[in-house]
Amino acid sequence: MSQEKSRPPQDRPWESDWAPDTTRAPGTLRLWLAGALALATITACVTAVTVMENESSEPAAKAAEPSTLASSAPGGLISFATPSKGGGESPGADRDRPSPTPSTSAPSSAAPSEKPKKKAPGPSPSDAAAKPSKRPKPPASHGTSIRSVNYPDRYWHVRDGYVRLDRIGSGSEQREDATFRRVSGLADPSCYSFATADGGYLRHRSFVLVKDADDGSALFRKDATFCPRPSASSGAVMLESVNYPGRFLRHRNFQLRLEPYQHDGLYRADTAFRLVAGLD
């Protein structure tokens, strides 16, 4: 027989005066083991997830970059890696990177033509306008002659530098001296100036109408400008001086001169003139 005293059952300690150990709660070791196992499991899961994320992101970044195989591919062709299916980059996102230069061995027919073929130039509107018109030109103006109302057979005529009221014969020189070029007034464009065939103008000097060369002065421009005013005779005008308002050209003893207006029938008749076609 064993000399050791058998341990009484712990569920009845009062029968043998043996007290159970109450310093440690039942199942404490199992709780510590379960906690350690759970912590190890969580750590392993976190590590596995981190490794998988790193491995999945590295190929996607590398797949977006084109790889040139100029040294290994025949003919200098360009090879691009196949992009990853899960890549989130939009097309054209890598345009900031310099693209590889293609080899000159590529077929030239693939390059588009830079300059379109020029069409044959057609006639432009300006060219058509530059061509002479087939229409007949209007007859050239022969200038203006000035005829008296009360002496209809007499015209203004330059003789010895003065303007007189003369009968004009058939001679070309005489008819040319009785023809003038009516232009816009030198001092007032709404009025008239009368140019002669040799480039001079009719002007008043000391209130007498004469032919004179333009000296470019303001006084000359005013003396050579006359404004048309209504006349009592139909189709006729009175010519008033610009720098002497109230004075009109009239003939006295068949000499043209400036005289103040008079309420007289003879004055109104002597100051009435008709501008007709030139005699030259």
Q: What are 201-259's pLDDT values in tens digits?
A: 999 999 999 999 999 999 999 999 999 999 999 999 999 999 999 999 999 999 999 99
Q: What totals of helices (H) and strands (E) does the chain contain, helices first?
A: 5, 14
Give the pLDDT band (50/70/90) at residue 104. Answer: very low
Say how far apart CA 77 and CA 66 lie, in whole Å. Answer: 12
Is residue 23 over pLDDT 60? Answer: no
Say how far apart CA 183 and CA 105 lie, in whole Å. Answer: 78
* Amino acid at residue number 120: A
Nearest C-alpha neighbor of 186 from the set 163, 220, 237, 144:
220
Range in 49-63, 106-120, 124-138, 221-235 with the lowest mean pLDDT: 124-138
* Whole-prediction pTM: 0.51
Range in 24-38, 50-64, 130-144, 183-197 with the lowest mean pLDDT: 130-144
pLDDT score for 47 = 86
**What 3-state class would DSSP assign to 230?**
strand
Q: What angle do CA 70, 74, 80 make, to 5 degrees?
A: 50
As a whole number, the mean pLDDT across the chain is 75
Q: What angle do CA 181, 174, 252 make, to 5 degrees?
A: 80
The whole-number average pLDDT for the span 46-59 is 73
Residue 156, phi then psi, degrees to nearest 5: -65, 135
pLDDT score for 66 = 46
Percentage of the chain exceeding pLDDT 90: 48
